[in-house]
Chains A and B, each alone.
Chain A
Amino acid sequence: MSPDDADSPASNEGGTVELRMREALRDAMTEEMRRDEDVFVMGEDVAVFQGAFKVTEGLLDEFGEKRVRDTPISENTIVGVGVGAAMAGLRPVVELMTVNFSLLALDQIINHAAAIPYMFNGNVRVPMVIRMPGGGGHQLGPTHSHSFEALYLQIPGLLVACPSTPADAKTLLKAAIRDENPVIFVEHESLYGIKGEVPEGEDVIQRFGEAAVRREGTDVTIVGILKMAHVAERAAEELESEHGISAEVIDPRTLRPLDLDTILESVKKTNRAVIVEEGWPHGGVGANLSTLITEQAFDYLDAPVQRVTGADVHMPYSRRMEQAAMPHEENVIEAVLAATDGAIGPKGGD
């Protein structure tokens, strides 16, 4: 924290304000840019256009062209410029217009941003944030609907955030900007408009590696990320009211580091786990987590870990087909019922 902090006006410290997720993200960047001159934002259409999803709205007006920079469409180079700038002491916040386009920047993300600190034995650091919105549900077809949390989760050296609420979006992004490591900050396009109470106060941050228990329960643990954290919560409500099943819902908030302890403690209590994600099934977030649970809490499990994922296809365009390829509450409920197999609820003991 900078020495200036003491002089900063504390705005309604301890209070909250209702914001949409895109506003919460914008506020995180605005506050961090006010706090630290070395923080700047760059990406395709982030300045004059104010962001493809309007997340950077107003930043150009307040901070000017030096600190809010429109870039050419050159993803690998945008990330690489961020890496170089970070190595020389700046703190870039790079926006890749979508997760889909981050594929063009994989060399800079993996071979450079993630590898450099280790490869050069800690003699240089890469404190940068790479924001990327993704996910399906907008009929954008196979090239514009990806979920790549699992891909980034695999890379040592990266941190991976996947916020599901406006509060987490703001406080995690602030933490990400202050962190010394390269951070992949995954946002879900469908969540930009959701509203939520967001804590005020410049120094309120959410540390990486602390899961949120969204709902307490005793019969099954449901882990969901991004939009699927909400799907999991709604499914849990229906499980309670329709099936008499008490589900605990956990949102890991960050996948690297992963708060495995909170998940394992829950599973040891409920003896059942269901993992919900939008991405592909093979080598996915759920595949990884279910292995970890099986390795470390096998004796506590009363049923195999269930995974609810997106379909193992490229996202189709047709509304009907697209919805068929994405997980919904019904799929979560079905998975929970499979895990409990009639052992719990009104039909329990039959």
Chain B
Amino acid sequence: MARIPDRQICLDLLGRMCLIRRFEEEAGRQYQRAKAGGFLHLAIGEEATIVGTTSVMRDDDFLIGTYRTHGHALARGTPADEVMAELFGKETGTSGGRGGSMHIFDAERRFMGGYGIVGGNLPLAAGLGLASQYKGEDSVTVCMFGDGASNTGNFGETMNLAALWELPVVFLVENNLYGMGTAIERHSAVTDLSRKAEGYGIEGERIDGMDVLEVRERVGAHLEEVREKGRPSLVEAFTYRYRGHSAADPEVYRDKSEVEEWQQKDPIETFIKACLDDGVLNDDDVESARREADETVEAAVKFADESPEPALESLYEELYVVSETMGWYAVDERSPEPHRGELGEDAPDVAKNLAESGAAHAAEEQERQSREGVRD
């Protein structure tokens, strides 16, 4: 483990990792209670990679991730209330209940989103980097993606373009050894993913993604180098998710013993031990970090639970910006009324009827699920 930083930083790292762990455990529970729907991808076990990375990013650096990014938003400072509310599909969620677990977003903290399509965020990261370069700003984009994404066409296209244009992007593979249920030896011809950088003439490095201090130190070094030289680099962080790919994963592809083995290297426990051994933190610090995480997450569930559902009238809002260049649009052209001048809030009857019957259906289903106490 790298050199222990000062007390304030240690408290911060511990607090954020505990928050993610606690948040994800609770999200899993709320999913079982059918409070959260859709897919749920938990990052339990991957806290050090996330927190180590965000802890060395500047406020004006961009972060962009995958469909497993509750923790990335939390680490960037997005309130747990808003992330949980998004999982609950509520109006107060980071994306107003439109994105869900896979599509958390927080422009204010330059967390430029979670994305549901594997590899889909890579070109966007290059675009964010291009914007920094174009405007003459020295912000760097950190693009996090999984080992599976390193096989997509977007990976090759984006690495080439980013290297060619010397874009300030740190590409960070969260290598958790599985692309969904397919082990890395079975999905990638070259399993040392850092070597994939070679073909694009950029630096690649493997790091221990379970060690928050190593992540901090090495990603920090990459960030500074990219910031200075304006060339991208590739970091492969070894990490592991204790839970399945998503909440609907029976995990037939790996042994329990493998999970247990990784849990011996638990990023939070090993960090706590190092801090206690060093004396920079004491038992009370650890206890209070855990208690604070518990309280924050408990409050987040309450907030999400009590938040209102998105208003039906908002179904068509935010689809377009209506401005000088497009003074109107047809919400749903099947309306028998004249169309010009209609805005989102003036959705025609055909659209309103669709929304109302759909909402009624959702309410019935929710009631049934809560009555039976389980989800489908």
Contact = CB atoms under 8 A, between A and B. Distances in A.
B112 interface: yes
Given A83-B124, A209-B326, A256-B329, A120 B113 contact: yes
Contact of B326 (A86, A121, A159): A159
Nearest to B110: A88
B98 A88 contact: no
Interface in A165-217: 175-176, 178-181, 205, 207-209
Contacts of A208: 325-326
A81 B123 contact: yes
B323 interface: yes
B77 to A, nearest CB: 15
Contact of A121 (B96, B117, B125, B328): B96
Contacts of A121: 94-99, 105, 318
Interface in B105-128: 105-107, 112-113, 115-117, 120, 122-128
Given A72-B160, A118-B98, A124-B107, A84 B124 contact: yes
A74 interface: yes
Main secondary structure of the interface of B (DSSP, over half): loop
Contacts of A292: 333-334
| Interface size grouping (class) on chain B | 35 or more
Nearest to B137: A88
A259 B105 CA distance: 34
A133 to B, nearest CB: 22
Interface stretch (B175-183, B189-197, B335-343): B335-343
B124 A87 contact: yes
A40 B133 CA distance: 13
A108 interface: yes
B256 to A, nearest CB: 36
Interface in B287-338: 317-321, 323-330, 333-334, 336, 338
Interface string A219-252: 0000000000000000000000000000000000
Interface string A106-146: 01100110001111111111000000000000000000000
B161 interface: yes
Contact of B130 (A1, A84, A107): A84
A295 B336 contact: yes
| Interface size grouping (class) on chain A | 35 or more
A156 B319 contact: yes
A122 B325 contact: no
B157 interface: yes
Contact of B321 (A116, A156, A181, A256): A181
B335 to A, nearest CB: 8
Nearest to B112: A87
A178 B323 CA distance: 9
Contact of A82 (B106, B127, B320): B127
Given A84-B128, A85-B131, A107-B120, A175 B330 contact: no
A316 interface: no
Contacts of A72: 157, 160-161, 164
B131 A80 contact: no
A89 interface: yes
Contacts of A90: 130-131, 134-135
Nearest to A113: B124
B325 A80 contact: no
B99 A85 contact: no
Contacts of B122: 77, 80
Contact of A66 (B99, B106, B131, B134): B134
Contact of B340 (A71, A256, A261): A261
A87 B95 CA distance: 15
Contacts of A258: 330, 333
A290 interface: no
A257 interface: yes
B153 A76 contact: yes
Nearest to A158: B320
B329 A257 contact: yes
A79 B328 contact: no
Contacts of A86: 127
A260 B335 CA distance: 11
B238 to A, nearest CB: 27
Given A74-B160, A119-B99, A181-B320, A80 B340 contact: no
B103 interface: yes
Contacts of B338: 261
A260 B95 CA distance: 32
Contact of B123 (A77, A178, A260): A77
Given A79-B123, A121-B99, A123-B107, A260 B326 contact: no
Contacts of B161: 71-72, 74, 77-78, 81
A349 to B, nearest CB: 33
A157 interface: yes
Nearest to A73: B157
A296 interface: yes
Nearest to A112: B120
12 contacts: A79-B123, A83-B123, A84-B124, A85-B134, A117-B319, A121-B98, A122-B321, A124-B113, A159-B320, A159-B326, A209-B326, A260-B339
Counting from the closest, the 6 A-B pairs by CB-CB distance are A84-B127, A80-B123, A88-B131, A122-B318, A121-B96, A74-B157
Interface of A: 1, 40, 66, 69, 71-72, 74, 76-90, 92, 107-108, 111-112, 116-125, 156-157, 159, 175-176, 178-181, 205, 207-209, 256-261, 292, 295-296
Given A85-B134, A112-B117, 20 more contacts: A72-B157, A76-B154, A77-B122, A80-B124, A80-B154, A81-B161, A82-B127, A83-B124, A83-B127, A84-B112, A84-B128, A88-B127, A116-B113, A119-B103, A157-B320, A178-B324, A179-B325, A181-B320, A256-B329, A260-B339
